[in-house]
């Protein structure tokens, strides 16, 4: 459910006869549905729905009963994790590069967005793929240091300015805590300037949390002895796509049928060990005697009449049809999951650059959607970082410098390096050296490579000067 300011006002009007914030918190938390988020997490950890399958039978009275004796293999296949990890590694496997004006500002941003940020960004990418969205919370700790932490989307209720979800104007975070040996929900209600803390009571409603020596409402953070508000809600939304939907939603049913067919096949193969015997002219007195004779003597005594004997019934398994079906479902998983099927042999052992681009085409399409959403979110994160740099006195960016921030993702696509290097050599003099460097397969950071080339050029010039001096 999308919560906007208009809907929040409607809830407040509805709660006129009650203590509005406490009433609204209860309503919003109860309406916060995390079913799809939790399913995405389960499937990522290979806890597919097949793990919950129960076998049944019908008794003599026609009542359905749980069959505890039936063979019940439950075999999950972790296709979802494979597709999510492919996308995250492809898009976020290499550090993001920030470009901005002036250069000093850009260098500061890149220094702050270090290995810790890149590691957090991969985790956010994984979580957003599973849940549809994830949140990053920038803050300033008691030591005055700028920090950031991932907040699980299951705990978050953003309140937008409009239905278009352009700006988060208020934010509710809730999570379980233990109070007097009882589990309670603690809620934080964030606005652009303050945060208010609530604690759940026995009746399910919320009250202001009163803690000695702590203000409530309180400032977003303290720097020195002063409390500050960011001026914006300090929670950044990282969307998987515009609809904030999990990747799993687009292929879950295919995974489920794949799990079901393989599990049923395992059941059938196990059942082959249990043969059905048809006895004709059996001279024993009981079925137990028959089983004992078969087990110990490997023989059964039957009459000499025509037609007497023991027949064995065994089910035939359509292996070829099952293999064909599973192969088709595997192709569908990669097709609708927009991934790269590493088992394909369509392009040979050394595919060309064009063939590789075709192979990665669907993954690239899916990643581009996330890239646009994440670039927008990272730029918002840079705004909070810029505010901190100014507050701490480390750097004051020029007015509107944040508008010049550009986020670049370096994708981890397989390439034909020989083909790319040959193209780079042939492009010398046709396009700029910077473009050639940016597209060279061995270059991860264009600015670093340019600096190294400048240092090498300077060293060569110095050596030439030394040589000229010796000749004189």
User: What pTM was estimated for this model as a whole?
Assistant: 0.81
Average pLDDT of the segment spanning 394-407: 93
Is residue 173 over pLDDT 70? yes
Over residues 74-131, the pLDDT tens digits come to 999 999 999 999 999 999 999 998 999 998 999 999 999 999 999 999 999 999 999 9
Contact between 259 and 76 (Cβ < 8 Å): yes
Alpha-carbon span 99 to 403, nearest angstrom = 11
Which residues touch 335 (CB under 8 Å, ≥6 apart)?
362
Contact between 41 and 130 (Cβ < 8 Å): yes
Is residue 14 over pLDDT 80? no
pLDDT of residue 16: 54
- Greater pLDDT, 44 or 8: 44
pLDDT of residue 307: 63
Of the given ranges (17-26, 79-88, 225-234, 249-258), which has the lowest mean pLDDT? 17-26
Alpha-carbon span 438 to 449, nearest angstrom = 9
Average pLDDT of the segment spanning 44-68: 93
Alpha-carbon span 282 to 300, nearest angstrom = 8
- Greater pLDDT, 55 or 342: 55
Is residue 165 over pLDDT 90? no
Over residues 446-462, the pLDDT tens digits come to 777 878 888 888 887 66
Is residue 254 over pLDDT 90? yes
Over residues 203-237, the pLDDT tens digits come to 888 999 988 778 999 999 999 889 999 999 999 99
Range among 24-33, 185-194, 414-423 with highest mean pLDDT value: 185-194
Contact between 150 and 136 (Cβ < 8 Å): yes
Task: For residue 390, count other CB atoms closer than 10 A to its CB.
Answer: 12
């Amino acid at each position: 459910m999308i919560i906007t300011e208009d809907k929040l006002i409607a809830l407040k009007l509805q709660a006129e006869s009650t203590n509005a914030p406490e009433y609204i918190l209860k309503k919003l938390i109860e309406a916060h549905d995390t079913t799809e988020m939790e399913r995405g997490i389960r499937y990522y950890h290979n806890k597919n729905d097949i793990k919950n399958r129960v076998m049944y039978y019908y008794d003599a009275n026609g009542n359905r009963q749980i069959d505890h004796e039936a063979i019940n293999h439950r075999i999950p296949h972790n296709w979802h994790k494979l597709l999510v990890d492919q996308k995250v590694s492809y898009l976020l496997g290499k550090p993001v590069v920030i470009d901005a004006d002036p250069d000093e500002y850009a260098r500061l941003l890149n220094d702050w967005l270090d290995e810790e940020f890149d590691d957090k960004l991969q985790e956010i990418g994984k979580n957003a793929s599973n849940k549809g969205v994830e949140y990053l919370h920038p803050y300033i700790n008691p030591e005055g240091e700028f920090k950031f932490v991932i907040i699980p989307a299951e705990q978050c209720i953003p309140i937008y300015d409009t239905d278009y979800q352009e700006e988060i104007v208020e934010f509710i975070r809730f999570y379980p805590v233990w109070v007097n040996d009882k589990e309670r929900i603690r809620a934080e209600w964030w606005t652009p300037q303050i945060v208010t803390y609530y604690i759940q009571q026995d009746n399910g409603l919320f009250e202001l949390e009163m803690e000695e020596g702590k203000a409530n409402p309180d400032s977003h953070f303290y720097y020195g002895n002063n409390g500050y508000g960011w001026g914006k809600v300090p929670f950044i939304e990282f969307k998987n796509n515009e609809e904030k939907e999990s990747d799993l939603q687009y292929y879950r049913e295919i995974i489920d049928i794949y799990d079901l067919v393989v599990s049923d096949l395992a059941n059938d193969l196990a059942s082959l060990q249990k043969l059905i015997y048809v006895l004709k002219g059996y001279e024993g007195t009981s079925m137990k005697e028959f089983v004992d004779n078969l087990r110990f003597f490997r023989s059964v005594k039957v009459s000499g009449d025509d037609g007497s004997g023991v027949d064995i019934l065994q089910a035939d398994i359509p292996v070829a049809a099952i293999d064909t079906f599973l192969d088709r479902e595997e192709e569908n998983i990669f097709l609708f999951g927009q991934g790269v099927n590493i088992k394909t042999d369509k392009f040979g052992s050394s595919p060309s650059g064009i063939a590789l681009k075709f192979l990665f085409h669907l993954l690239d399409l899916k990643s581009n959607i996330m890239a646009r959403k994440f670039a927008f979110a990272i730029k918002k994160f840079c705004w909070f970082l810029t505010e901190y740099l100014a507050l701490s006195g480390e750097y004051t960016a020029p007015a509107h410098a944040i508008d010049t921030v550009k986020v670049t993702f370096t994708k981890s696509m397989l390439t034909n390096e020989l083909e790319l290097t040959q193209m780079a050599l042939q492009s010398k003099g046709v396009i700029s050296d910077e473009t050639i460097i940016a597209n060279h397969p061995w270059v991860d950071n264009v600015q670093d490579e340019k600096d190294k080339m400048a240092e090498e050029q300077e060293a060569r010039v110095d050596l030439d000067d030394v040589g000229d001096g010796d000749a004189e």
